[in-house]
A and B are shown apart, each in its own frame.
Chain A
Amino acid sequence: MAAKDELGRRGEKLAAEYLQDQGLKILARNWRCAEGELDIVATDGVATVIFCEVKTRSGTGFGTPVEAVTRGKRRRIRRLSYLWLTSQPLESWPDRRFDVIGILMRPGAAPQLRHVRSAF
């Protein structure tokens, strides 16, 4: 596995643990279809499904992690959210929320996590 994939994997694991600490229930991780991949799908257990994009970087030389969630990526996540919902046996149509978690993992330092709720 390439180093950057390894970094992303670690970041996503960290983000999932963080969301569980927040009291959310993880419904899916790395859900894939032909269109792409959703990093984390979670729910608050009431009526909202949270689609969370996790971006991990080892430095800010090319910008901060949350900055890297571009317009095109946001559009793809919106589209994927419908595909995920249609793949589920739903009783009612839930509210959707899109979050971004940016994680900065500088080598030899504690990871810094930033959670942007309702990011887009």
Chain B
Amino acid sequence: MGLGRAVAVSLLGVAGHVVDVEADIAGGLPATTIVGMGDTAVAQAKDRVHAAVLNSGFRWPQHRITVSLAPAGFHKRGAGFDLAIAVAVLAAAGDVPADASAGPVLIGELGLDGSVRPVSGVLPCLLAAAAAGRTEAIVAEHNLAEASLARGLRVRGVACLADLVAHFHGMPGLLREPAPTAPTAPSSVPDMADVLGQPEARFALELAAAGGHHLAMIGPPGAGKTMLAARLPGLLPPLTEEQALQVTAIHSVAGTLDPQTPLITTAPFVDPHHSASLVAMVGGGSGDIRPGSVSLAHRGVLFLDESPEFKPAVLDALRQPMESGSVLVMRAKHMARFPARFQLVLAANPCPCAAARDIDCTCPSGVRRRYLGRLSGPLLDRVDIRVDLPAVDAMALAGDTEPQEPSSVIAQRVAAARERAAYRWRDYGYACNAEASGPQVRELWHDRFPRPLLLERAMRLGRLTARGHDRVLRLALTATDLADRGRPSDADVAMALALRCGEAA
């Protein structure tokens, strides 16, 4: 009796797949079936869409309606199909011109009153649609700012189903055009000028920013660990357009974007509480696969305060994404790969009692030793910089009235150093020293610089693992880049080794 079509996008992790929504009206008692492996939210779409269609002033066909989401082979989740299902049904009933409905990608949830509501994950959906050759998309007005970030397709917003149907009938002016340029959120990263004292830690942070190295800070409460970590994003270069889109897409799936200024242009800062579960950290969840903290921190900073208090399994799960820059979340029914190239900053007290001065510590030596031992060797092995922060005493605070360097000045040095590193690795496509693999660093060093005798001795004495050796070389390269020396000096290697072993202070 009638066949209608519309187009939507299904999201799996941060990867979208274009889905053809078809509605068929056949004889029989009124009933609606949605086929194509939808979850509960998709199955309930029929009740939402039914009410929305009636309350928008249209007829709901009094026949057997079959809605198919094709390809049927993979699971589809969420309420974002509502709009496409409603339009496909109305097209099958003849209330929407069939040739008009099959064109644009439609993404949005329907309220019972026919209003179009925003959904999460619109940006990755539209990026996938554009990649699949789609040229037009219509989303909820609330999603418009985010949706307009997708290049290569014309995006417009719609307020309610009735407006959309009228638009398909050729009525102009019902859809909202996106603002010419999406306004970017003002940066809320705190400034390094606020940090008093801690010259070693400041330099360690600068090194970490310049080379993309992971960093551990050990020190008593009040030493400024959290303060310093929170300022790292301000030292990192702003995200490139491609990185910004990728990061925004991940945060879009997580549903944490600001609807007015969705584009994330500064490195994100993610600080999960130490009670975080494995799934919260790496991503996953039953049914809906959501990005974890490691992916939300993609191209940014993952800060683990009180890191020894995290569950050991959670900490060790960080090792694989630290090496590969992504996580593959596997479930029985589906799998999703999330990007996870983050910079890890660990903070820890030296012991559970966390006395301000070491001499006041009341912990038995065994407890003290075991406390930091909770950070497993393989994890710490991946941390290039370990810096001990002494307590800042009142004298230092009072005497240290000299203005401290602001983030903007440090960021300039970091940017210059990163430029040198990117030039060094131009043939490999790496952006910073930390991305280069161990053998590549060793080979480059072997070709251009004198043998690092100091490190060979440290390895022979068991102070350094083979991976640690490569990491010290990497750190020495970053120190060289920051100082703009061209070739690393013995002092650079020595300082890198000291920072790695936590002897800088």
Task: Give the B-binding residues of A (Cβ under 8 A).
Answer: 64, 66-67, 69, 100, 102, 114, 116-120
Which residues from chain A contact B29 at a C-beta distance below 8 Å? 66-67, 69, 100, 116, 119-120
- Give complex CA distance A116, B62 in Å: 10
Which residues from chain A contact B62 at a C-beta distance below 8 Å? 64, 66-67, 102, 114
**Interface membership of B27, Cβ < 8 A:** yes
- Give complex CA distance A66, B64 in Å: 11
B27, A66: Cβ atoms closer than 8 Å: no
A117, B30: Cβ atoms closer than 8 Å: no
The closest CB in chain A to the CB of B60 belongs to A64
- Give complex CA distance A7, B27 in Å: 26
**Interface membership of B28, Cβ < 8 A:** yes
**Chain B interface main SS type:** loop
- Give complex CA distance A86, B30 in Å: 31
The closest CB in chain A to the CB of B30 belongs to A67
Which residues from chain A contact B30 at a C-beta distance below 8 Å? 64, 66-67
- Give complex CA distance A64, B31 in Å: 12
> In B139-183, which residues have CB < 8 Å from any A CB?
none
The closest CB in chain B to the CB of A64 belongs to B62
Closest CB in chain B relative to A117 CB, distance in Å: 7
Which residues from chain B contact A69 at a C-beta distance below 8 Å? 29
Which residues from chain B contact A114 at a C-beta distance below 8 Å? 62
Per-residue contact bits, chain B 30-65, to A (CB 8 Å; 1 contact, 0 not): 100000000000000000000000000000001000
Closest CB in chain A relative to B479 CB, distance in Å: 75
Which residues from chain B contact A116 at a C-beta distance below 8 Å? 27-29
The closest CB in chain B to the CB of A100 belongs to B29
> In B1-33, which residues have CB < 8 Å from any A CB?
27-30
Interface hub of B27, B28, B29, B62 (most chain A Cβ within 10 A):
B29
Sample of 9 A–B contacts (CB below 8 Å): A66-B29, A66-B62, A67-B29, A67-B62, A102-B62, A114-B62, A116-B28, A116-B29, A119-B28
Closest CB in chain B relative to A112 CB, distance in Å: 11
Which residues from chain B contact A119 at a C-beta distance below 8 Å? 28-29
> In B93-138, which residues have CB < 8 Å from any A CB?
none
- Give complex CA distance A117, B29 in Å: 9
Which residues from chain B contact A67 at a C-beta distance below 8 Å? 29-30, 62
> In B345-375, which residues have CB < 8 Å from any A CB?
none
List of 6 A-B pairs having minimum Cβ-Cβ separation, nearest first: A119-B29, A67-B30, A64-B62, A116-B29, A66-B29, A66-B30
